[in-house]
Amino acid sequence: MIRAGIIGATGYAGGELVRLLSGHKNVEIKWFGSKSYIDKKYAEVYRNMFEIVDDVCLDDNIGELAKQVDVIFTATPQGYLASILTEEILSQVKIVDLSADYRLKDVKVYEEWYKIEHKSPEFIKEAVYGLCEINRDKVKGARLIANPGCYTTCSILTAYPLVKEGLIDADSIIIDAKSGTSGAGRGAKVPNLFCEVNENIKAYGVTTHRHTPEIEEQLGYAAGKEIKVNFTPHLVPMNRGILVTEYASLIKRAGEDGVMKYPSYEQVKAAYDKYYAKEKFVRVLEKDVCPETKWVEGSNYVDVNFKIDERTGRIIMMGALDNLVKGAAGQAVQNMNLLFGQKESEGLELVPMFP
């Protein structure tokens, strides 16, 4: 039995971790950490856990709590884990961090985009970027997992096969992304009030969103070079979901007749199948079927597809996922399963909810 602890258990991602781990046959949640609700019963914070979770919330004294568990999930704001992580802690417990503290390998890039000083850069090199479909083997032997976020997971997985196979110009990628409001967290913020969000859609973080360098870094590894992308997120009035629409220029290749041609549908589909045909949680949809958030809600699936625009020589790639599951907690559980030699899909074989 894997003993788990959750710091930030009362945020949206933390709450989703509790829901998923409660249904995992090989996990016991030993404690629920929450600065905001110390000594309050967890089921009073999330009433869906009434008569399911009887524990009270504890302070987040990670040094002491680490001694009681095998893995700690930190569903906390940027900067928290970096400010408290020590070699002593990492020698006792594995950590799956849902923040961005260890996702970027260049500490200067992290500090530039997140506007905070990184307090423990000595752990950045060993941290493994926990996008399981790409870094599965590295995850298995890690102590510290940098769990990717929702925008980045969807954006990277949607374009990865075509970047990796050199079918598109990676520097031409433009990402239009839309998220439900739970992606902004549970804290009270005026821009997220019902009257601000309802009947509205708005772009934010235009040219400055801090997930941009993360997408560039990971797709850059696939491309074998540094790349730059345009990434623009939008807030939409729904609870859950990420939808990305990505545009890129196709690269012409010589056909059997020697004529330079854009890749065909069959060639692009073959690239997606090469990387995802055996992946449990990435579903490449049938031709002309566009991903929709409602068909992945409440699940760990990512739905992807594409459409070639022969008129312009560009391709439109599309992806959808649940930002709280595959975009956060589900991915964290997937990483935990790999860390402890569990079946990768254990606790995650959730049929998407509808309606």
Active site residues: 150
Sign of CA dihedral 109, 332, 143, 130: negative
Displacement of CA 261 from its chain's centroid (Å): 35
Q: Which amino acid is residue 17, in one-letter code?
A: L
Measure the CA–CA gap between 241 and 229, rounded to whole angstroms. Answer: 22
Among 120, 57, 65, 118, smallest CA distance to 93 is for 65
Q: Which residues pair with 68 in a beta bridge?
A: none
Contacts of 25 (CB under 8 A, 6+ apart): 346, 347
The count of other CB atoms within 10 Å of the CB of residue 204 is 13
Residue 140 CB-density burial (10 A; 0-12 exposed, 13-18 middle, 19+ buried): middle
